[in-house]
Amino acid sequence: MTFNKTIIPRVMASILGQTREVLAAEAVIAVDGAETFDCDVTKLHLHDMTVIAGLGGPISLLIAFSFEASLVEALFIRVTADIEVPDGEEDLYRRETAGEIVNTILGLCTSDFQNIEESIALSPPVIIEDARCIHRPKNAVFANMRIRTERGIVSVSFVGPRELFDDHLNYQS
Amino acid sequence: MSALKVLIVDDSLIAVKKLTLMLEGMGHQVVGTAGTGAKAVDAYRTSNPDLVTMDITMPDMNGVEATARIIGEFPAARIIMVTSHGQERMVIDSLDAGAKGYVLKPVRVEKLSDMIDKVMARTT
């Protein structure tokens, strides 16, 4: 296990910067600001739609982007503007939109870690739609960042070491 | 350039639809899609494309490994990585596996078109 929690502030800064870039480029949505709650968080609250992906190698974190419904809707409308969404498949495309946005943000974040020799693997996004609260086990590290946009909030949670949890954030003892 | 037969490998429905629109807008024909690295190898065998766009982050087998498998079987395959993964190490791994080009998401039609032109000019 290569997890080192001192990397979390760097990953946070990278995610904030790339979120700003991707939301502007893909959906013309501006980020208004962000608050961070670094490493002293004891529980995480997930909103209605959460996208979870893992950054591997020396970063070893699960990262959960939990979206307010208003932001998901705004992203869905902008991202699917030029493609056909079949009737009845709107919810599928909402989930796909959120997954693709998170995948793009995290992929671009890896370019902020060029000094790391080892490849930084990125796991495919997993989407969960049940709001829930996750308490921090003693041997885990939680941190949180709340990004405010003009269309709603996305809370980004950092959970490490990633080996302690499955891709749905269930604790694996 | 004449119309190319293109295989799109990406696990994102949105990315597949957007790439299809762009490629068809350039006059090319999308002859197949695959959502995992393992399916990409099978899809290559059945569709025999002129060009592949390959994502990296996918379930089962990632795009770098799928590229290596396709090149192992079809050494002349033209594969362009189309991915958000921007770490230099991953770019090098992809080129080592046999990819001919690398385009970062979010994809813009000009970037993709330029890369296709460069790859085709080098390999035909």
CA B49 – CA B77 distance, rounded (Å): 8
From chain B, the residues in CB contact with A103 under 8 A are: 12, 57, 84
Three-class SS of residue A20? helix
Does pLDDT of A5 surpass 90? no
Q: What's the pLDDT at A163? A: 78
Q: Estimate to the nearest angstrom the gap between the alpha carbon of A69 and the chain centroid.
A: 15
In this prediction, residue A46 has a pLDDT band, given cuts at 50, 70 and 90, of confident
State whether A103 and B57 contact (CB < 8 Å). Answer: yes
Torsion, Cα A111 A114 A117 A122, to 10 degrees, reads -20
A1 pLDDT above the threshold of 60: no
Nearest to A114 among B85, B87, B105 (CB): B87
From chain B, pick out residues whose CB is under 8 angstroms from the CB of A21.
Answer: none
* A22 to chain B, closest Cα gap in Å: 8
Share of residues in chain A with pLDDT > 70 (%): 96
Count residue pairs from A and B with Cβ separation < 8 A.
73
- Residue-number span of the structural domain to which B23 is assigned: 5-123
Q: Which residue has the tokens 């025999």?
A: B48
The answer as to whether A16 is a domain residue is yes
The partner residues of A127 in beta bridges, in order of sequence, read A51
Task: Tell whether A131 is covered by a domain.
Answer: yes
- Cβ–Cβ of B62/A80 closer than 8 Å? no
- Provide the 10 A C-beta neighbour count for residue B44: 22
Nearest to A79 among B14, B21, B58 (CB): B14
Give yes or no for A58 touching B (CB within 8 A): no
Q: How far is A131 from chain B (nearest CA, A)?
A: 24
Residue B76 belongs to domain with CATH number: 3.40.50.2300
Q: What is the ipTM of this complex?
A: 0.88
In percent, how much of chain A has pLDDT > 90? 59
What are φ and ψ of residue A155, in 5° steps? Answer: -95, 125
Q: Mutate one of A75, A101, A110 to test the B interface: name it (highest B CB count within 10 A).
A: A110
More confident residue, B23 or A37: B23
Q: Taking residues A20-47, what's their average pLDDT? A: 88
CATH classification of the domain holding A86: 3.40.1550.10
Rounded to a whole number of angstroms, the CA Rg of chain B reads 13
Convert the pLDDT of each residue in A97-111 to its tens digit: 999 999 999 999 999
Q: B24-51: per-residue pLDDT in tens?
A: 999 999 999 999 999 999 999 999 999 9
Q: How far, CA to CA in Å, does A100 sit from each of A40, B25, B66?
A: 30, 22, 20
pLDDT the model gives residue A39:
64
Question: Could you say which DSSP state residue A124 is in?
Answer: P
Instruction: Examine the pLDDT at A4 and tell me if it is beyond 80.
Output: no
Number of domains in chain B: 1
CA distance A69 to A82: 21
Domain count across chain A: 1
Both structure tokens of B9: 């490998």
**pLDDT value at residue A45:** 83
Dist CA A149 CA A19 (whole Å): 10
Full domain range(s) for residue A59: 5-164
- Per-residue pLDDT tens for A52-100? 999 988 888 999 999 999 999 999 999 999 999 999 999 999 999 999 9
Does the distance separating the beta carbons of A83 and B18 come in below 8 Å? yes
Instruction: Average the pLDDT over B4-9 and give the result.
Output: 98
- A170 located within any domain: no
User: Do residues A2 and A50 lie in contact, with contact meaning Cβ atoms separated by under 8 Å?
Assistant: no
Helix and strand numbers, DSSP H then E, in chain B: 5, 5
- Does residue A154 surpass a pLDDT of 80? yes
Chain B residues with CB-CB distance to A83 below 8 A: 14, 17-18, 21
Query: Residue A171: inside a domain, yes or no?
Result: no
The Cα angle at residue B54 between residues B79 and A160, in degrees rounded to 5: 135
Tokens 């089962």 label which residue? Answer: B60
What pairing do the DSSP bridges indicate for beta strands B29-34 and A132-135? unpaired
What is the least distance, in Å, from the CA of B69 to any CA of chain A? 19
Q: To probe the interface with A, which of B16, B19, B39, B84 has the most A CB atoms within 10 Å?
A: B84
Q: Using one digit for the tens of pLDDT, what is the confidence trace for B69-121?
A: 999 999 999 999 999 998 988 999 999 999 999 999 989 999 999 999 999 99
Instruction: Using pLDDT thresholds of 50, 70 and 90, give the confidence band for residue A139.
Output: confident
Least confident of A32-41, A91-100, A102-111, B10-19: A32-41
- Name residues 14-43 of chain B within 8 A of A (Cβ): 14-15, 17-18, 21
Compare CB distances from B84 to A82, A104, A124 and report the shortest one's residue. A104
Average pLDDT value for chain A: 89
Say what the pLDDT of residue A41 is. Answer: 78
